[in-house]
Structure 1
Amino acid sequence: MTTLYLFCSAAPPALEVVDVIADAQARGWDVCLGLTPSAHRWLEPEVDELERLTGHAVRSSYKLPGEPDEWPTADAILFAPATFNSVNEWALGLTSKFVVGVVAEAIGKGIPTVLMPCANAAYVQHPQFDRSLDVLRAVGVSVLYGPGGFEPNQPGERRAEGFPWGSALDEVGRIVRTAS
């Protein structure tokens, strides 16, 4: 079985992570769930269930020096939903958050990585957002933003069709096959 690191920031689609894990597992992935500190706080009541479902600790912080790694090595990473803040931190190399540090390091390790942002139409007007997406694309991250990926909604609104989780998992499968 291949290992997928599924990383989520604190955006409403993170609340659907149980179904996403089940879908990824049905596709043959061993899923390890990593959360930003805010996403961990959102999902805290479900952490025990998420650990039972994945068979791995849910992580939101770095391990201490000398501690063994709790997870198997990643074959691929999906960072979705990735908030405006997380996207910019990643592109700028600001790695104080565990999940951002792992995806930043994944670039140098050559781990196939997919990013699906989740930022509203007001946030994406900030010029840094497009620059950050360009930086991540340039280093080989598969960015699902725009038609066929995430399309920004107005602040406070959610799309009737929901977050395109299926497209994100399809892309993970595609880039892993391509990398092989």
Structure 2
Amino acid sequence: MSTRTLYLFSSAAPPVFDIARVIEDAQADGWDVCLGLTPTAARWVVESIDGLATLTGHPVRWEYKLPGQPDVWPKANAILFAPATFNTINSWAIGLTDKFVVGVVAEGIGKGIPTVTMPCVNAAYVQHPQFEQSVATLRSAGVTVLYGEGGFVPNQPGQGNPSSYPWRAALDAVNNL
């Protein structure tokens, strides 16, 4: 069994409902997976939290630990943040770390942890000028952003198909880091 640890982080977007299958796929690729969620994503999958913790063998996290509490996860060898919403991408790029998972990936840049992210945003959101700036900022910081051809291609508002989210492309990118 490999000792490579993957932090798998997800925002509240419909592909998060496939996260158990993604964990199993990552484990089949040889990763020890630790799952982190935004608070809204945690609410979306609240009924599955215990099962997801059992599947990974680690507590599912969505909040910062309190000062003095031990870290319950092993150190990450890589991070995959998918799906990453419009809010998550922009918050991360400008350094707003009020959410645990965004704080970890922001710090991960400085720690040199190889990181992949794949947005899940609709075509209306990507028209906002901050989104392209945020993608460029993350890429310039060394984050692999799977956006556009070969990654996530935005759909029209209300026309997304969560089952077509390219999870395998995201896992392959992490495996190729």
Please give the range of the TM-score, normalised by the shorter of the 2 chains.
over 0.9
Could you say what secondary structure the match of 1:3 adopts?
A: strand
Aligned to 1:102: 104
Q: Measured at CA, do residues 160 and 93 of structure 1 come closer, stay the same or move farther in structure 2, by a change above 3 Å?
A: closer
Question: Which is worse superposed, 159-168 or 91-100?
Answer: 159-168
Deviation at 1:159, TM superposition (A): 3.5
- Aligned mates of 1:46, 1:57 — CA distance in 2: 12
Aligned to 1:82: 84
Query: How do residues 10-159 of structure 1 correspond to structure 2 at under 5 angstroms?
Result: 10-159=12-161
Structure 2: runs of 5+ lacking an equivalent: none
Could you say what secondary structure the match of 1:116 adopts?
A: strand
Deviation at 1:61, TM superposition (A): 0.3
Amino acid at match of 1:28: G
Aligned to 2:8: 6
Question: TM-score, structure 1 length as denominator?
Answer: 0.96
Question: TM-score, structure 2 length as denominator?
Answer: 0.97
Amino acid at match of 2:156: Q
Deviation at 1:19, TM superposition (A): 0.4
Q: Measured at CA, do residues 160 and 70 of structure 1 come closer, stay the same or move farther in structure 2, by a change above 3 Å?
A: closer
Deviation at 1:161, TM superposition (A): 6.1
- Aligned mates of 2:11, 2:54 — CA distance in 1: 21
Could you say what secondary structure the match of 2:117 adopts?
A: strand
Amino acid at match of 2:37: L
Asked if the contact 2:14–2:162 (Cα under 8 Å) also holds between the matched residues in 1, the reply is no
Asked if the contact 2:26–2:171 (Cα under 8 Å) also holds between the matched residues in 1, the reply is yes
Summarize deviations over 1:18-62 as a string: whole Å, max 9, x none. 000000000000000000000000010000000000000000000
- Aligned mates of 2:162, 2:7 — CA distance in 1: 27
Runs of 4+ in 1 over 6 A off after TM superposition: none
The size of the alignment, in residue pairs, is: 175
Q: Measured at CA, do residues 82 and 160 of structure 1 come closer, stay the same or move farther in structure 2, by a change above 3 Å?
A: closer
- Aligned mates of 1:20, 1:161 — CA distance in 2: 12
Could you say what secondary structure the match of 2:51 adopts?
A: helix
Please tell me the root mean square deviation across aligned C-alpha atoms, in Å: 0.9
Asked if the contact 2:36–2:61 (Cα under 8 Å) also holds between the matched residues in 1, the reply is yes
